């Protein structure tokens, strides 16, 4: 269609004759030598590069890999759903919905033809990562679910209402009679994903493809959705292909695993073999970044550091603490309220008061890493922003007490008085893409905080930027390039450099590694630990990821709906959780060992 485009092969290609070698009867989809490419104006980008695998009826196949590994392109190829300008260029996808039923080659079908449309939603269904954006915001969920029956069984919406309600009940949506007429924005993330599952399953497909269905969800919701999928798979006798980057999730649900990297499958086999006897280095690396390896090293370092820091002495002998060290940051009864206008056409417009932080008190000792954990909406980010004074807290005190300086209450300072402290408390953001201005060079990005300090001339700024870039593991030559030239991990290093350029004492890292792939995440965490030692930094590490927090934090506070429900030393909180919510949170975290599956009961917390 585009004159400038590299010519793509035509759809009707001579395929290798698979009829002489039909797939085994117990295989629902047999992928042979699949290639899929994206045809851009400049080049052909191979997203899927000659992969072969089989999904066995009634089993769960996990395709695991990091971003850009081609796992999503593989999943979408199975339904001819690759976005333009991508397409399948070679290979076979041999699909037979039931044992003994006719085999069709999906790879040979055109993406819009009638045959593939008869398969989509009817024989093979798909659920996606982000249920909010994967469902239409302007249609009710009932409308969108009943549409599947309308397409494949020719039923009118009013004939199917009962069935849709029944399906919503099956996926565990409370009050399905009412929820059927809800819009997506009226449901929580977990409910939306349940509605999505109901939509995928209502026509009783024989194969369900789940493309990172729990990545956007909180850990407790993730656990519920994984349990639900496993249960429905049993009930309905489906096969499941599950795409994920999370080895913990793989350990929870997989029967078979295929590990992908750079468009190729590097290793595949039953889940026990992959976890307990991995052959390929990359698989070991993936497992290492969640299990032992880097962890133990970090732990050791942390313990050594903790032994050297006065905090431990503080615990050992409370009498000394009074004299030796005061916390760097102590928050007392901090409250943050937001006022929103709610209501609409049918309801009285009302001003709602939202208490994001409800009287939190905590102390952060200098030189330590303080973990703040909780699920989305619990107020952890708001708390972080109050400390940075991006928000002005409604009430409470934030005492900032650096050695050799006067103690101040950040909550009470005016914008002008705050200015020197803007260089002392810095932030690292979650999204390494969104948090760097694409129109500024790395030098401009990193040196910008120095510009607000008086008496730092251009030459000195350049020198300090270069030194800082080297410190975070980048080259000096990176200074004049733009952020788009860097990978996610490198961008996060740039974000670290920007935070550290003013030589701060406290760094608030808000989900700083959540958007990174596991292998990159381990590197960035190592870097953070290294910098902490070198520059005697204190971190407030905000995260929803318990495994990371457990690994790197000295002290932990657990937040739930604006309250800190539990806080203490990391070892105590993780090994002997006192509060039922902490217990529920820990029980929902996937264990990265398939043989431990089902040994740990799920706890739920209802206040």
Partner 1 sequence: MIRFIGARILYVIPTLFAISLISYFIIQLPPGDFLTSQIASLEQQGQTLDPAYVDALRQRYGIGEPFWVQYGKWMGGILFEGDLGQSFEYGRPVTALIAERLPLTLILGVTTLIFTWVIALTAGVYSAVKQRSFADYAISTVGFIALAIPNFLAALLLAYAGFTLFGASIGGLFSPEYANAPWSWGKVIDLMNHLWIPVLVIGLAGTAGIIRVTRANLLDELPKPYVVTARAKGLPEGKIIRKYPLRIALNPFISTAGWHLPSLFDGEVIVAQVLALGTTGPLLLGALKSQDMYLAGGIILIIAVLTVIGTLMSDILLAVVDPRVRFGKA
Using CB under 8 A, list all residues that contact partner 1.
1-2, 76, 79, 81, 83, 112, 117-122, 125-126, 128-130, 133-140, 147-148, 151-152, 183, 185-186, 196, 199, 341-346, 348-349
Inter-residue contact 453 to 484 (CB < 8 Å): no
Q: What is the DSSP letter of 472?
A: T
Q: Which residue do the tokens 């408390």 mark?
A: 425
CB-nearer residue toward partner 1: 142 or 489? 142
Query: Could you give the CA distance from residue 476 to residue 306 in angstroms, rounded to a whole number?
Result: 33
Strands 329-342 vs 239-244: parallel, antiparallel or unpaired: unpaired
For residues 540 and 148, give the distance between their C-alpha atoms in angstroms, rounded to a whole number. Answer: 47
Question: Count of residues for the chain?
Answer: 607
Q: How far is the CB of 83 from partner 1 (least distance, A)?
A: 7
Which CB sits closer to partner 1, 117 or 326?
Answer: 117
Nearer to partner 1 (CB atom), residue 147 or residue 511:
147
Omega cis (within 30) before 305: no
119 vs 287, which CB is nearer to partner 1? Answer: 119
Report the nearest approach of partner 1 to the CB of residue 59 (Å).
Answer: 22
Short-list 544, 541, 540, 438, CA closest to 491: 438
Query: Least CB distance from residue 347 to partner 1, whole Å?
Result: 8
CB of residue 248 to partner 1, shortest distance in Å? 24
Burial grade of 594 (CB within 10 A; 0-12, 13-18, 19 or more): buried
Q: Is the dihedral of CA 365, 367, 373, 377 positive or negative?
A: positive
Question: Cβ 575 to partner 1, closest distance in Å?
Answer: 40
CB nearer to partner 1: pick between 323 and 341: 341
Report in angstroms how near the CB of residue 206 gets to partner 1 at its nearest. 14
Residue with smaller CB distance to partner 1, 83 or 463: 83
Q: Which residue's CB is nearer to partner 1, number 20 or number 340?
A: 340
On the 0-12 / 13-18 / 19+ scale of CB atoms within 10 A, 290 is: buried
Question: Residue 111 CB, nearest distance to partner 1 (Å)?
Answer: 8
Q: Do 516 and 432 contact (CB within 8 A), yes or no?
A: yes
**Number of C-beta neighbours around residue 486 at 10 A:** 19
Beta bridge partners, 510, equal 542
Which of residues 127 and 356 has its CB atom nearest to partner 1 in the complex? 127
Find the shortest distance in angstroms from Cβ 139 to partner 1. 8
Q: Is 33 left (phi over 0), alpha (psi -120 to 50) or beta?
A: left
Instruction: From residue 518, give the alpha-carbon distance in Å to each of 78, 523, 533.
Output: 26, 9, 23
Q: State in angstroms the smallest separation of the CB of 185 from partner 1.
A: 5
Compare residues 147 and 490 and give the one whose CB is closer to partner 1: 147
- CB 348, min distance to partner 1, A: 7
Is 84 or 467 the residue whose CB approaches partner 1 more closely?
84
Residue 382 burial (CB count, 10 A): 23
350: phi then psi, degrees, rounded to nearest 5: -135, 150
Match 């585009």 to its residue by tokens: 2
Strands 395-400 and 408-409 turn out to be antiparallel
- Is 55 exposed, middle or buried (CB count within 10 Å of its CB: 0-12, 13-18, 19+)? buried
């Amino acid at each position: 269609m585009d004159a400038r485009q590299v010519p793509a092969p035509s759809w009707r290609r001579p395929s290798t004759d698979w009829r002489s070698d039909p797939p085994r009867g117990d295989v629902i989809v047999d992928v042979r030598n699949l290639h899929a490419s994206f045809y851009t104006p400049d080049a052909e980008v191979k997203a899927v590069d000659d992969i072969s695998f089989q999904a066995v009826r009634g089993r769960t196949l996990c395709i695991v890999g990091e971003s850009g590994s081609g796992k999503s392109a593989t999943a979408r190829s199975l339904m001819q759903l690759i976005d333009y300008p991508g397409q399948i260029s070679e290979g076979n996808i041999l699909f037979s919905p039931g044992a003994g039923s006719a085999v069709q080659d999906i790879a040979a079908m055109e993406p819009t033809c009638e045959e593939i449309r008869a398969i989509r939603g009817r024989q093979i269904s798909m659920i996606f990562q982000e249920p909010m954006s994967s469902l239409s915001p302007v249609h009710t969920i009932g409308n969108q679910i009943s549409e599947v029956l309308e397409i494949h069984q020719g039923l009118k919406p009013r004939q199917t209402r009962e069935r849709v309600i029944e399906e919503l009940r099956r996926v565990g949506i409370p009050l399905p009679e009412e929820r059927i007429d809800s819009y997506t924005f009226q449901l929580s993330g977990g409910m939306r994903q349940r509605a999505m599952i109901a939509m995928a399953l209502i026509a009783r497909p024989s194969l369900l493809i789940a493309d990172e269905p729990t990545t956007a969800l909180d850990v407790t919701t993730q656990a519920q959705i994984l349990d639900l999928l496993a249960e429905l798979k049993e009930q309905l006798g489906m096969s499941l292909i599950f795409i994920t980057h999370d080895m913990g999730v793989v350990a929870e649900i997989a029967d078979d695993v295929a590990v992908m990297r750079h468009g190729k499958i590097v290793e595949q086999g039953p889940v026990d073999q992959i976890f307990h006897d991995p052959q390929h280095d990359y698989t070991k690396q993936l497992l290492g970044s969640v299990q032992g390896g880097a962890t133990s090293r970090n732990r050791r370092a942390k313990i050594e550091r903790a032994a050297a820091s006065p905090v431990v002495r503080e615990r050992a002998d409370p009498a000394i603490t009074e004299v030796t060290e005061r916390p760097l940051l102590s928050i007392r009864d901090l409250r943050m309220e937001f006022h929103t206008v709610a209501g609409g056409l049918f309801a009285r417009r009302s001003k709602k008061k939202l208490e994001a932080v409800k009287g939190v008190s905590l102390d952060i000792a200098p030189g330590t890493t303080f973990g703040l954990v909780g699920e989305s909406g619990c107020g952890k980010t708001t708390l972080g922003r109050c400390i940075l004074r991006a928000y002005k807290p409604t009430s409470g005190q934030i005492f900032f007490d650096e050695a050799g300086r006067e103690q101040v209450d950040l909550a009470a300072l005016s914008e002008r008085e705050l200015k020197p402290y803007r260089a002392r408390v810095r932030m690292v953001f979650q999204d390494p893409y969104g948090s760097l201005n694409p129109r500024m060079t790395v030098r401009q990005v990193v040196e910008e905080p120095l510009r607000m300090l008086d008496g730092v001339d251009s030459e000195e700024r350049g020198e300090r930027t270069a030194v800082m870039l080297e410190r975070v593991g980048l080259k000096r030559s990176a200074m004049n390039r733009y952020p788009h030239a860097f990978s996610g991990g490198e961008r996060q290093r740039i974000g670290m450099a920007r935070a550290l350029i003013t030589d701060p004492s406290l760094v608030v890292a808000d989900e700083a590694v959540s958007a990174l792939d596991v292998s990159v995440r381990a590197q960035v965490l190592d870097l953070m630990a290294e910098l902490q030692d070198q520059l005697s930094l204190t971190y407030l590490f905000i995260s929803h990821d318990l495994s990371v927090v457990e690994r790197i934090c000295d002290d932990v506070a657990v937040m739930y709906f604006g309250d800190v429900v539990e806080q203490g030393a990391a070892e105590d909180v993780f090994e002997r959780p006192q509060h039922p919510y902490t217990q529920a949170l820990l029980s929902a975290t996937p264990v990265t060992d398939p043989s431990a599956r089902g040994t740990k009961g799920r706890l739920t917390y209802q206040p």
